[in-house]
Amino acid sequence: MKGCILFILLLSFLFSCSSSDTVLEEALERSGSNRSELEKVLFHYENDALKLRAAHFLIENMPGHYTWDSPQLAVYRAKMDSAYPVMSSVVKRVVYSIPWHNNFTMDACHRVEDIRVVKGDYLIRHIDNAVAMWQTCPWLKDLSFEDFCEYLLPYRLGDEPLVEADTTSRWWKVVGKSMDDYQFSPSLLDDVKSFQRMHIGDNDNLYFQDLAMPLLEDGKYTMDCLDMCYYDVLGFRQAGIPSTIDLIPDWPTRNGRHYWRTIIDGACMYDNFSGTMNPVTGKVYRMTYSHNPIPEANGKDSIPELFCNPFLKDVTEKYVKVTEVEVELSDNFSGRHPVYLYLAVFNDLEWKPVAWSRVKGGKARFGKMGHNLVYLPVYYRGGTMECAGVPLFVDRMGRVTELHAEKGHTVDLILTRKYPMTYTKIQWGKTVEGSVLEAADNIEFVSADTLAVLTSMGKALNWVSVPTGTDKAYRYWRVSKKGRPVTLAELKFILPDGQPAEGVPLSSGRGGFNLKAFDGNPLTYNNYMDWVGMDLGKARTVREVRLLPRTDDNGIAVGHLYRLFYFGRNGWVKAGEQRASGQTLVFEGIPTGALYWLQDVTDGREERIFTYEDGRVVFH
């Protein structure tokens, strides 16, 4: 009876003033039959204000957290447990998450919501352990309660399954004792990570590559950056290292996205200790346990998947310089005005929204946008994404320029590539420069004749033709770097009739021998030590030698069909189409001032938008 009275008093305190509208009460109402389990936690901590606050934080933010389950996933977990019976709880949570993190097809998958299944005893053990860790570890003495709640206390990181053993983790005790043994005081929390790795050692390495995977045809899986981030952060938190995952949802200058783990350390700039700093990006988001604002569905228009997740916090300003971008809807906007606008970046051949804003007074303001990038304002009408204006270029100083197609002014576009060069790629070509073309009548190349010196691989990482300058016939031909490696993707010896010569590939044999320079695939290459060449079988005249350095194969390919687009008032407008007869395309009479896109219809997916400035392509 006394316990019942205390419980009623506790609830009266928690839910005074008819507090059915409070966040806590709303969470409890969503828990259904699991409500008594959550109330059990609140009652347990009625005399411990600190742990009660921690319990409030976990329960109030629990709605929306879930993991996936299905009969097929249950079979998968059982198979992985059988194949790897000694997986740690951290490894298990990562391995169990692989199917949905990689969009494997799953039958009858359903969400298991935390608010409806997490038991009181589980939370109590977890809160007790987390608070003890925070209060005991000397390296956490300056960690605020708010950061403790966000980066150490949560029982989950993202959507990984929960594992009971996590509530009784011993790693923070092991790490603490080890540092005490050496009387070591960390100056950065990254030092604590080093002690954690010292004890884990290489025990988990066998799971990172060639993991036996029953859901894949080849049966092998290598963990990607998201898997490794989950592994690191889940392990860090058990060792008393406040941390989380930051991410770039879509790169704005290339395909794909990126995740990295961040240690929350007050001694570092912006409290970040991260291996990724100053990325070229429009947005950086941080995975949180607490809720963040997201667009509200109106039942008519789609909301991008990225912004359906309330557990992502905008932390762009912690990584790059940012500015506010204002978009004003035009007066002749057709149909009903959208509730939300989005700013999208060009990624994997399409526009992908990375920021959102509510429309107010015909305008939308987007805060904290990265510099030196192109954005497209878009909105959704039903399930279709529509452009809400012309592309916007935010320069290095944060100034915004609209990229209008000026049809009254035209320019001839001279194009040699569809994807930007990088310094690394330039070096691929530089490794071939200085090579010499030699020919001889003996396989040892004794007294070989030097016929040409390669001085430049051009500007586009494309084929280079080197005339031999002789009608003399030789049986043995080679490209030599005089004792240094020469990196080639393809090598052809062209006869006077214009056809490639056939023969037996040769090389010095140093560093191994393969046929990648003769396999017809421009994306394979080899570092040939000293030289690589061909035995033509008999003495023959060669008109020219064609070389292709290691390449991304994004130059203009002879025979491929290309289309050029510019961005108009309502989207992409086709400006021309050509089948390449050489390694350069010229499109005449194209409107100036626009954003352009060269599309290889024949092959490839690496294509970037660009502007054309002073006769030069500037990729974005």
- Which letter, b or e, does each residue of 297-306 get, where b requires 16 or more Cβ atoms within 10 Å of its Cβ? eeeebebbeb
Let me know: does 319 contact 281? Beta carbons within 8 Å.
Answer: yes
Whether residue 19 has pLDDT greater than 50: no
Which band of pLDDT confidence, cut at 50, 70 and 90, is reported for residue 512? low
The residue among 286, 275, 379 whose CA lies nearest residue 336 is: 379
Whether residue 15 has pLDDT greater than 80: no
Question: Residue 310 in 3-state DSSP?
Answer: coil
Q: What is the average per-residue pLDDT within 10-20?
A: 43
Residue 553 identity (one-letter amino acid): D
Q: What is the pLDDT of residues 115-173, one digit of tens each?
A: 999 999 999 999 999 999 999 999 999 999 999 999 999 999 999 999 876 665 788 99
Q: What are phi and psi of 3, to 5 degrees?
A: -65, -40
The residue among 329, 75, 322 whose CA lies nearest residue 214 is: 75
Question: Where along the chain do its domains lie?
Answer: 66-241, 242-402, 410-419+555-619, 423-549
What pLDDT score does 271 carry?
84
Q: What is the pLDDT of residues 375-404, one digit of tens each?
A: 999 999 999 999 999 999 999 999 999 999
Which band of pLDDT confidence, cut at 50, 70 and 90, is reported for residue 584? very high
In the 8-state DSSP scheme, what is residue 417? Answer: B
For every residue of 466-505, which 3-state class applies, written as one string?
A: EECCCCCCEEEEEEEEEEEEEEEEEEEEECCCCCECCCEE
Mean residue pLDDT across the chain = 91
Let me know: does 270 contact 307? Beta carbons within 8 Å.
Answer: no
The residue among 299, 307, 381, 333 whose CA lies nearest residue 569 is: 333
Q: What is the pLDDT of residues 535-545, one digit of tens each?
A: 999 999 999 99
Residue 514 identity (one-letter amino acid): N
Q: What is the average per-residue pLDDT within 78-94?
A: 92
Bridge partner residues of 104 (DSSP): none
Rounded to an integer, what distance in angstroms lies between the CA atom of residue 547 and that of residue 535? 17
What pLDDT score does 107 carry?
79
Q: What are phi and psi of 327, to 5 degrees?
A: -120, 125
Strand-pair category, 474-494 with 526-540: antiparallel
Q: What is the average per-residue pLDDT within 437-450?
A: 94
Q: What is the pLDDT of residues 300-340, one digit of tens each?
A: 899 999 999 999 999 999 999 999 999 998 776 666 789 99
Q: What is the pLDDT of residues 232-243, one digit of tens each?
A: 999 999 999 999
Q: What is the pLDDT of residues 393-442, one digit of tens each?
A: 999 999 999 999 998 899 999 999 999 999 999 999 888 889 999 999 99
Q: What is the pLDDT of residues 241-289, one digit of tens each?
A: 999 999 999 999 999 999 999 999 988 888 888 877 789 999 999 999 9
Let me know: does 565 contact 533? Beta carbons within 8 Å.
Answer: no
What pLDDT score does 217 carry?
66
| Contacts of 279 by beta carbon, 8 Å cutoff, 6+ apart | 248, 258, 319, 320
Domain covering 410-419+555-619: architecture: Sandwich (2.60)
CB atoms within 10 A of CB 554: 22
**Residue % of the chain over a pLDDT of 90:** 75
Let me know: does 163 contact 88? Beta carbons within 8 Å.
Answer: no
DSSP string across 205-255: GGGTSSEE-TTSSS-EE---HHHHHHHHHHHHHHTT--EEEEEESS-SSSS
